[in-house]
C-alpha cells in the first residue's frame, strides 16, 4: 500500500463488510390511500373469514397453519400485479418486498398459495358475495344495466389428451400396440449388432408409451363420460377433465369459457365463472341464475324479483330461441344482438365488397362451383345435367 502523503485528501473509510441491523415496522409499510391499505382494511374489518375455519382441524395437534387472512392479502395483491401464483414464475412472490407489510413478514411457499386457491370453491363464492355487499353499501352498484360478455381462457392441459371414452381407449390400445412392436423388434435385433444408443432411445420411448397408456386407462377407470347440454357425450380430457376443446380466433385450444357480468356504472363485476364448454349460448340461463343468487345475497329485499327494472345486455353469442324464451318467461328486459342483424341493416349492405376474396382451393370441381353460386344467389350457368354428376 502506498504511503499517504500530507497533501492527499482525507476520506472516511467505507467498510463494506460491516453487518447492519435495521428496525422495520411492517405496519408502517402500509400507507393510507394505497391499494395495499384497502386490502388490509377490507380483510381485517369488513369480511367474515370464518367460512375458512372448517378446513383446518389442527386445534389439538399438528403444525400451525397460515392464517387465511394473510394468504388472501398476498393473493389479491399478487393478482393485482399480474403475478399468477399457479404459474412457473410464482417464486417471484417470495421476492416482492412490499408483500411483507401485508403478510407480517410471513413467507408462505407459492405451492401453499396455489393449494389455497384451487380448493376453495364454496368459500370463494361466499367471499365474492361479501365483496359485492361492500360495493353495494358504498353505492358503487347502480343496478340500471348489466352487461354480459365472455372470452376463451386456455388451460394448462393439452388438447392432445382430449377425446370421448371410446377415442381415449383406442389411443391407449395404439400405444400398447406400439410398445409390443418395439419389444418384438428388440428380440429380432438382439443378435444383429444393434447399437446400445438405439436400444437406450427405444427403451425410453417404451417407458413413455407405457406410462401414457396407464395414465389413460386409470382415467377411464375412475371417470364417467361427460354429457353435454344436448344429452350427447362430449370430449373428456385426461389432464383437466373440467376443461373443453374449443375453437377460437387463434385456433383450437383446450380451456374454458369465462363469462362475467358487469354493472354499467362503475364496472363492478356482479358475477363471474369459468365453464368447460366452448359454446356460450348454452350458458346464459346458468349465468342469470348466478346473478340472481349474488343479488339475493347482498339485498334480501329483492329476493322475489332480483332483476326487476334492470336491463340485461349481451352480444350475439348468447342469441338462441331457447334463451329468448327463457328471458321472456322470466320477464327480464334483455337486449341481445342476433346472429344475422347485419344482413338486415342497410348500413352493412356493401360489407362483402371489402372482405378479402377467398382463394380457390386446389381440386375445386364444377359441382362445388355451382353449389357456391346457388348459395350466393348468383345468375345460374346453363350447363348440361351431366356437369353436376
Please count the CA atoms within 13 angstroms of the CA of 36 that sit on its side-chain side: 19
| More confident of the two residues 246 and 146 | 146
- Work out the end-to-end distance of the chain between its first and last CA atoms, rounded to an integer number of angstroms: 102
339 shares its domain with 356: no
Is this model's pTM higher than 0.95 or not?
no
4 confidence band (pLDDT: 50, 70, 90): low
303 confidence band (pLDDT: 50, 70, 90): low
275 shares its domain with 328: yes
In a domain, 303, yes or no: yes
- Of 15-19, 73-77, 266-270, 355-359, highest mean pLDDT: 266-270
Q: Is the pLDDT of residue 378 over 80?
A: no
In a domain, 325, yes or no: yes
Give 336: exposed, middle or buried? Use CB within 10 Å, 0-12, 13-18, 19+. Answer: buried
The boundaries of the domain holding residue 259 are: 244-344
In a domain, 309, yes or no: yes
In this predicted model, what pLDDT tens digit does every residue of 269-301 receive, in sequence order? 999 998 888 888 889 999 999 999 888 888 755
The total number of structural domains that make up the chain? 4
361 shares its domain with 338: no
336 shares its domain with 265: yes
Give 132: exposed, middle or buried? Use CB within 10 Å, 0-12, 13-18, 19+. Answer: buried
208 shares its domain with 300: no
Amino acid at each position: 500500500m502506498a504511503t499517504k502523503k500530507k497533501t492527499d485528501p482525507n476520506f472516511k473509510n467505507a467498510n463494506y463488510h460491516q453487518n447492519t441491523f435495521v428496525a422495520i415496522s411492517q405496519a408502517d409499510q402500509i400507507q393510507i390511500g394505497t391499494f395495499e391499505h384497502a386490502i388490509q382494511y377490507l380483510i381485517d374489518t369488513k369480511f367474515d373469514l370464518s367460512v375458512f375455519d372448517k378446513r383446518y382441524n389442527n386445534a389439538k395437534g399438528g403444525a400451525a397453519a397460515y392464517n387465511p387472512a394473510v394468504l388472501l392479502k398476498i393473493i389479491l395483491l399478487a393478482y393485482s400485479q399480474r403475478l399468477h401464483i399457479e404459474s412457473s414464475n410464482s417464486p417471484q412472490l417470495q421476492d416482492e418486498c412490499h408483500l411483507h407489510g401485508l403478510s407480517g413478514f410471513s413467507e408462505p411457499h407459492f405451492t401453499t398459495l396455489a393449494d389455497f386457491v384451487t380448493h376453495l370453491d364454496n368459500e370463494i363464492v361466499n367471499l365474492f358475495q361479501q365483496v359485492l355487499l361492500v360495493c353495494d353499501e358504498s353505492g358503487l352498484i347502480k343496478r340500471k344495466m348489466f352487461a354480459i360478455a365472455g372470452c376463451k381462457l386456455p388451460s394448462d392441459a393439452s388438447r392432445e389428451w382430449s377425446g370421448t371414452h371410446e377415442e381415449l381407449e383406442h389411443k391407449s390400445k395404439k400405444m400398447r400396440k406400439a410398445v409390443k412392436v418395439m419389444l418384438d423388434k428388440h428380440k429380432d435385433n438382439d443378435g444383429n449388432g444393434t447399437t446400445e444408443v438405439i436400444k437406450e432411445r427405444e427403451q425410453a420411448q417404451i417407458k413413455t408409451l407405457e406410462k401414457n397408456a396407464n395414465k389413460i386407462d386409470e382415467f377411464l377407470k375412475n371417470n364417467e363420460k361427460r354429457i353435454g347440454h344436448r344429452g350427447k357425450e362430449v370430449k373428456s380430457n385426461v389432464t383437466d377433465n373440467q376443461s373443453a376443446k374449443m375453437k377460437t380466433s387463434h385456433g383450437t385450444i383446450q380451456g374454458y369459457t369465462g363469462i362475467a357480468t358487469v354493472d354499467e356504472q362503475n364496472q363492478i363485476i356482479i358475477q363471474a365463472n369459468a365453464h368447460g364448454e366452448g359454446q356460450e349460448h348454452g350458458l346464459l340461463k346458468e349465468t342469470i341464475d348466478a346473478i340472481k343468487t349474488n343479488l339475493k345475497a347482498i339485498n334480501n329485499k329483492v329476493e322475489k324479483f332480483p332483476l326487476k327494472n334492470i336491463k340485461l345486455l349481451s352480444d350475439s353469442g348468447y342469441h338462441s330461441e331457447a334463451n329468448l324464451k327463457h328471458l321472456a318467461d322470466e320477464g327480464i328486459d334483455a337486449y341481445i344482438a342476433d346472429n344475422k342483424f347485419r344482413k338486415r341493416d342497410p348500413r352493412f349492405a356493401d360489407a362483402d365488397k371489402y372482405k378479402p376474396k377467398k382463394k380457390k382451393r386446389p381440386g375445386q370441381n364444377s359441382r362445388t362451383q355451382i353449389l357456391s353460386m346457388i348459395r350466393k344467389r348468383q345468375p345460374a350457368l346453363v350447363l348440361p345435367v351431366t356437369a353436376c354428376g
